[in-house]
Amino acid sequence: MEGAEPGVVPAVESTADDITEMRIRGAAAIADAAAGALETQAERSTADSPAAFEREIHAAAETLYETRPTAVSLPNALRYVLRGMDGDTVADLRSSTIARAQRFQRDLDQAQDRLGEIGANRLRDGDTVMTHCHSTDALACVEAALEAGKELAAIVKETRPRKQGHITARQLREWDVPVTLIADNAARRYLDRADHVLVGADSIAADGSVINKIGTSGLAVNARERGVPVMVAAQTIKLHPDTMTGHTVEIEMRSERELLADEERAAIVGGEATDGDAKGDATGSDADDPAPATDSGLTVENPAFDVTPPRYVDAIVTERGQFPPESIVTLMRELFGEPTDDPWED
Ligand SMILES: O=P(O)(O)OC[C@H]1O[C@H](OP(=O)(O)O)[C@H](O)[C@@H]1O
């Protein structure tokens, strides 16, 4: 990642790039990778004073934080590791940071397993789930239900534009679950065959709103109309503490090229396919891109996430139990207490 702070080790920059470019994706995987990157930073730091070590760790956290804006699991992971950094010597700071990052990763795995067991209780033998995107938290519920001997089938939404539904389909087929893959547009038609809509989350707001892959909110509205319950599988690391004080969750805008190739753009607006008409890069930032075309008359918008209001969600399943969305704020207060600062601040 360009513009990284001095002292940030290349492995951290490379993890940040992987998150930005979605080679590492999914809210839990991003959190796991971020904690792992801070561990690597601690291991490889050549800082010769405690203050320099702390500066480097904070700079590494900032580099990771600036990758993608929507999944709160990322800042929650960074904050957790930074708060465990303790000691008066470089050696102590190093070992406490490493231990804290490792504990975070262990807890993350255990939380997902526990969440899966709880979510599995909602799934009955013979049920069909409809999925959207690829969520390891949602799939943990399916896995636990299968391990309990239940038979399930799945209707898997393709999930344009990046088709993460294919990852879900592959995982489900590895578990021998019958899969019907459908285009996103076919969801309402197939809801008649579904017993649950089962999705993950990138962030959960204090009012119980669910921020998840674009298309979730439309699916949830249709599911309500068809009488299909919507179940959101989300570890507590997906709870967004800033929303307790009225902050909103930033929705990541991604490159138009995920929707429209340069040639396709040229076919619509005429002229040659050039980079000059592309707007935004994969980070949603346009710092390195040519100026957006203002004269073609074609604007492409590509939000990665949307917000599903709590009234369309039946249950949020966490490792602490399942909650009606309206009561999630109680859990947030218990876990986070007072409002928090930027993750690299004490
Ligand atoms: O943490 P887990 O449950 O794996 O994934 C949670 C969510 O993260 C993904 O976002 P993206 O693909 O990174 O944009 C999807 O929106 C998915 O529902």
pLDDT score for 337: 83
* Rg from Cα positions in the chain: 21
72 C-alpha to ligand 1 centroid (Å): 11
Question: What residues does ligand 1 touch, defined as CB less than 6 Å away?
Answer: 25-29, 133, 135-138, 164, 199-200, 202, 212-213, 304
The residue whose CB lies within 8 Å of the most ligand 1 atoms, and thus the one to mutate among 68, 162, 213, is: 213
Range of the domain at 91: 10-114
* Within a domain: 62: yes
Binding-site positions for substrate read 25-28, 68, 212-213, 238
Q: 70: domain CATH number?
A: 1.20.120.420
Give the model's pLDDT for residue 340.
55
Position 274 scores a pLDDT of 57
Residue 64 counted as domain residue = yes
Any catalytic annotation for residue 202?
Answer: yes
* CA dist 91 → 42, 46, 50, 87, 99 (Å): 10, 11, 9, 8, 12
Q: Tell the residue nearest (CA) to atom 2 of ligand 1.
A: 135
Say if 184 falls within a structural domain.
no
Is 200 part of any domain?
Answer: no
Low-confidence ranges of the chain (pLDDT < 70): 1-5, 273-295, 338-346
Strand 230-233 relative to strand 196-199, pairing: parallel
Structure confidence at residue 285 (pLDDT) = 40
346 is catalytic: no
pLDDT at 19: 98
Q: Work out how many domains the chain is built from and give that number.
A: 1
Contact 15, 65 (CB under 8 A): no
User: Is 57 part of a structural domain of the chain?
Assistant: yes
How remote is the C-alpha of 162 from its chain's centroid?
A: 14
